[in-house]
């Protein structure tokens, strides 16, 4: 039960905030605060209780950021937990840091410290900076080995690096890329950073002043840490408590939580390419020769590892022939993301490939272990060394060795996945081949990925965390949370709440479904119908967003429009997202009119309130791409369990996406406009009617507009 003192602090802070900003209480916001606080209140009781999980779908306009911060932070402070706010986008992360938290601190007597968490890649490595400014024969040797992977120090902006050193020395800059006075190009920044495999940590001679570790230490002192899903998942993949505080000491708040399962799959997926691996192994043999020359590895160990690497390269030649035989035996292949590919049914690979993978996994395990042993000896020597020249030499070569360990571990994980059978009655891994054969490149890739994040998140997060809150404007599908529960593996004791948006949907927006006279499967007729309809539907100076499920159809519609309308279109393929939105707003501000053409990435996270968007047009019900190997494998598994994959997966997912897409129209209570869906299936098909009923209660105009001509 929630302690009266904590309850009073939450209620008092909420009242003060409303008064300071002259706002009226929102029922949904108060409901969200109460649900989260009451769910997490069990932490104040039995210490052996399962970590409480609260899922809150909070419709646009609820004010969810304020709600979850106010409800979690006082409780976490009382019980000694850290609060980790995790977002899916940089924009929301910055909003929490620079807008929402300052408003709470200024408008209430709630007091807490906060810090922004970033990965190593956002911070300068002092050892790298020193190396780039000084140069050395060893650095040149590394350049010769890894020319395209290690940036040429002479090609970097030496004046910039010198200025960085000066700013670090004066204390005017702490090595954070985002805090530098001017944008830094990737070509200038990349040579300055390391990943966890390349970092010697406390053994580094610059550790005391390390930019990343100083920022990391600040997290230990903060009550609230603002992070992102990728960084949280990276920390969990390393065992937890490496970058962020230990999961057991944290209450996590996942905003835009619908991204979490898919990002988790990406983090625990593996990939390798045959020819590229052979090329890398040749370089690793050259590296071992160089380390021997620098007296950084023993002769016998170097000899054994080179022999092992050579054996793996020869084995990969055999693997290439085996994979070619498998590819030639296939009845059909398909394309996905510009690659020809084949997904093994239910992730089951041929016996010959499984046997080959088992042997290769053993070899990579030995190679990885050997490289790790060298790295450990280097780290130990750094700790014991009193020779500055020797220490600098080790620090120069260690990052290159770390890159090789990373590659070896990744290859080991991939082949180990291909060597095993999945657990019966559990969702399998997706395993697939991708290949190309052009004049410039010829290679075969192998991939493996979980199809559900359930097991990964259960083991690493839900069973270990202090507690968790998952929230977003859209989390349910067809009025249920079953899709999120399945994909994220949420435990049975999870609390769920759906809070509708306070917007007057019927009074603010009209959903128009024109009479098309064709199905979207008839792509040519469907495209021409859209082309003919756009000039009729849009005003002379429109403020519109047109969403497509297919890049080809987007381009076909654009090229078929009259020139005067083409000039009004800003197409996703022509600009970066932020730049495109900026141009769109500028056009609207000048009264010129503008239409954005975008794909799925524009169906969420795009905020164009008021006059910037008064019409959202959707080409068709946004079903997922049918040849995504992960979704294909999941669908096959669902069918094998006696369920209908289309109704279990495809329809709820499409309903979820359509609600998100239509949600681009109303961003505030004063917004008005129209949503046009060029897809009769939402009326004519039974599953379409189910999807339609799950949408917000917009005023509907069905078949009143005839564009079937």
Q: Are 542 and 591 in contact (CB under 8 A)?
A: no
CA-based angle 640:634:658, to the nearest 5? 120
Residues of the chain with CATH 3.40.50.300: 505-706
DSSP state of 176: B
Strand partners, 271: 447
Q: Are 629 and 271 in contact (CB under 8 A)?
A: no
Task: Please report the pLDDT score of residue 335 as a whole number.
Answer: 62
- 154-158, 451-455, 482-486: which range is least confident on average? 154-158
Tell which residue, 569, 564, 626, has the closest CA to residue 598: 569
Ranges 121-135, 177-191, 269-283, most confident? 269-283
Task: Please report the pLDDT score of residue 149 as a whole number.
Answer: 47
Tell me the pLDDT tens digit for each residue of 640-664.
999 999 999 999 999 999 999 999 9
Cβ partners under 8 Å of residue 247, min gap 6: 236, 240, 241, 460, 461, 464, 465, 466
The single residue listed with the structure tokens 């020779």 is: 387
The single residue listed with the structure tokens 């939105």 is: 581
Q: What is the dotted CATH code of the domain comprising 4-113+454-499? A: 3.40.50
Tokens read off for 572: 């996703």
Residue 148: pLDDT over 50: no
- Scanning 538-594, the segments in alpha helix (DSSP H) are 551-560, 563-566, 577-589
Tell me the pLDDT tens digit for each residue of 501-532.
999 999 999 999 999 999 999 999 999 999 99
Q: Please give the torsion angle defined by the CA atoms of residues 124, 128, 134 and 140, in that order, rounded to the nearest 10 degrees.
A: -140
Task: Please report the pLDDT score of residue 151 as a whole number.
Answer: 46
Q: Are 393 and 130 in contact (CB under 8 A)?
A: no
Element (H, E) at 449: strand 442-450
In the structure, what pLDDT confidence band is assigned to residue 337 with cuts at 50, 70 and 90?
low
Beta strand extents in 74-159 (DSSP E only): 82-87, 114-116
Residues 129-155 have a mean pLDDT of 61
3-state SS, 626-662, equals CCCHHHHHHHHHHHHCCCCHHHHHHHHHHHHHHHHHH
pTM (two decimals): 0.91
DSSP 463-503: TTSSEEEEEES---BTTBSHHHHHHHT--TT-EEEEE--SS
Compute the distance between CA of residue 682 and CA of residue 685 in angstroms, rounded to an integer: 6
Residues 443-458 have a mean pLDDT of 94
DSSP 284-324: HHHHHHHHHHTT-S-HHHHHHHHHHHHHHHHHHHHHHHHHH
In the structure, what pLDDT confidence band is assigned to residue 119 with cuts at 50, 70 and 90?
confident
Q: Please give the torsion angle defined by the CA atoms of residues 501, 504, 510 and 513, in that order, rounded to the nearest 10 degrees.
A: 40
> How far, in whole angstroms, is CA 179 from its chain's centroid?
23
Compute the distance between CA of residue 134 and CA of residue 137 in angstroms, rounded to an integer: 10
Compute the distance between CA of residue 36 and CA of residue 53 in angstroms, rounded to an integer: 9
Task: Please report the pLDDT score of residue 138 as a whole number.
Answer: 60
The single residue listed with the structure tokens 């060298």 is: 374
Task: Please report the pLDDT score of residue 348 as a whole number.
Answer: 96
Compute the distance between CA of residue 442 and CA of residue 88 in angstroms, rounded to an integer: 35
Beta strand extents in 308-373 (DSSP E only): 334-336, 339-343
- 116-125, 459-468, 478-487, 544-553: which range is least confident on average? 116-125
Compute the distance between CA of residue 228 and CA of residue 236 in angstroms, rounded to an integer: 13
Tell which residue, 71, 75, 70, has the closest CA to residue 107: 70
In the structure, what pLDDT confidence band is assigned to residue 684 with cuts at 50, 70 and 90?
very high
Between 332 and 174, the higher pLDDT residue: 174
The single residue listed with the structure tokens 């996406």 is: 657
Residues 111-136 have a mean pLDDT of 87
Compute the distance between CA of residue 511 and CA of residue 139 in angstroms, rounded to an integer: 63
Terminus-to-terminus CA distance in the chain, angstroms?
Answer: 64
Tell which residue, 624, 632, 207, 287, has the closest CA to residue 428: 632
Pairing of strands 467-472, 442-450: unpaired
Task: Please report the pLDDT score of residue 228 as a whole number.
Answer: 94
Residues 628-632 have a mean pLDDT of 93
Tell me the pLDDT tens digit for each residue of 189-242.
988 898 888 888 888 888 889 999 988 888 888 999 999 999 999 999 999 998
Q: What is the dotted CATH code of the domain comprising 505-706? A: 3.40.50.300
Residue 423 burial (CB count, 10 A): 9
């Amino acid at each position: 039960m929630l302690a009266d003192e904590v309850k009073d602090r939450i209620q008092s802070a909420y009242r003060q905030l409303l008064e300071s900003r002259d706002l009226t209480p929102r029922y949904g916001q108060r409901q969200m605060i109460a649900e989260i606080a009451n769910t997490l209140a069990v932490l104040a009781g039995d210490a052996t209780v399962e970590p409480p999980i609260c899922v809150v779908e909070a419709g646009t306009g609820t004010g969810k950021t304020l709600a979850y911060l106010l409800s979690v932070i006082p409780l976490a402070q009382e019980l000694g937990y850290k609060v980790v706010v995790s977002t899916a986008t940089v924009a929301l992360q910055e909003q929490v840091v620079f807008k929402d938290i300052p408003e709470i601190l200024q408008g209430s007597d709630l007091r807490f410290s906060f810090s922004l968490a970033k990965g190593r890649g956002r911070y300068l490595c002092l050892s790298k900076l020193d190396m780039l400014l000084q140069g050395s024969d060893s650095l040149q040797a590394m350049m010769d080995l890894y020319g395209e992977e290690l940036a040429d120090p002479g090609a970097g902006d030496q004046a910039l690096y010198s200025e960085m050193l000066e700013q670090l020395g004066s204390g005017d800059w702490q090595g954070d890329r985002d805090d530098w006075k001017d944008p830094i190009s990737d070509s200038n920044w990349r040579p300055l950073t390391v990943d966890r495999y390349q970092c010697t940590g406390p053994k580094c001679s610059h550790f005391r002043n390390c930019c990343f570790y100083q920022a990391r230490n600040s997290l230990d002192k903060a009550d609230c840490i603002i992070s992102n899903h990728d960084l949280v998942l990276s920390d969990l993949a390393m065992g937890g408590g490496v970058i962020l505080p230990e999961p057991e000491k944290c209450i996590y708040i996942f905003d835009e939580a619908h991204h979490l399962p898919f990002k988790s799959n990406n983090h625990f997926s593996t990939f390798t390419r045959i020819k590229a691996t052979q090329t890398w192994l040749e370089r690793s043999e050259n590296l071992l020769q160089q380390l021997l020359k620098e007296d950084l590895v023993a002769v016998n160990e170097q000899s054994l590892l080179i022999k092992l690497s050579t054996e793996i390269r020869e084995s990969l030649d055999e693997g290439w022939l085996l994979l070619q035989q498998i590819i030639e035996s296939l009845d059909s292949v398909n394309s996905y993301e510009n690659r020809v590919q084949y997904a093994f049914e239910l992730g089951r690979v041929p016996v010959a490939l499984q046997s080959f993978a088992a042997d290769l996994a053993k070899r990579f395990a030995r190679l990885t272990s050997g490289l790790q042993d060298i790295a450990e000896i280097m780290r130990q020597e750094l700790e014991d060394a009193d020779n500055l020249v020797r220490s600098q030499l080790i620090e120069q070569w260690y990052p290159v060795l770390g890159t090789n360990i990373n590659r070896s571990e990744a290859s080991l994980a991939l082949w180990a996945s291909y060597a095993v059978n999945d657990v019966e009655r559990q969702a399998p891994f997706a395993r697939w081949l991708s290949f190309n054969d052009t004049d410039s490149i010829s290679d075969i890739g192998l991939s493996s990925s979980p199809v559900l994040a359930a097991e990964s998140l259960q083991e690493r997060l839900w069973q270990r965390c202090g507690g968790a809150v998952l929230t977003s404007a859209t989390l349910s599908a067809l009025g249920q949370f079953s899709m999120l529960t399945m994909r994220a593996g949420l435990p049975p004791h999870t609390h769920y709440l759906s809070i509708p948006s306070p917007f007057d949907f019927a009074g603010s927006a009209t959903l128009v479904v024109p009479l098309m006279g064709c199905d979207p499967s008839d792509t040519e007729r469907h495209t021409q119908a859209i082309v003919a309809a756009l000039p009729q539907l849009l005003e002379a100076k429109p403020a519109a967003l047109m969403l497509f499920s297919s890049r080809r159809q987007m381009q076909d519609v654009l090229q078929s429009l009259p020139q005067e309308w083409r000039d009004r279109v800003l197409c996703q393929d022509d600009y970066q997202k932020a730049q495109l939105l900026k141009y769109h707003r500028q056009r609207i501000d000048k009264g010129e009119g503008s239409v954005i053409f975008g794909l799925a990435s524009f169906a969420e996270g795009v905020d164009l309130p008021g006059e910037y968007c008064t019409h959202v047009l959707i080409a068709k019900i946004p079903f997922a791409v049918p040849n995504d190997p992960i979704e294909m494998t999941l669908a096959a598994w669902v069918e094998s369990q006696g369920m209908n994959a289309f109704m279990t997966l495809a329809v709820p997912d499409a309903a979820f996406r359509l609600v998100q897409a239509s949600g681009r129209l109303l961003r505030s209570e004063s917004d008005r406009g129209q949503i046009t869906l060029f897809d009769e299936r939402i009326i004519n098909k039974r599953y379409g009617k189910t999807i339609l009923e799950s949408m917000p209660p917009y005023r509907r105009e069905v078949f009143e507009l005839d564009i079937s001509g």
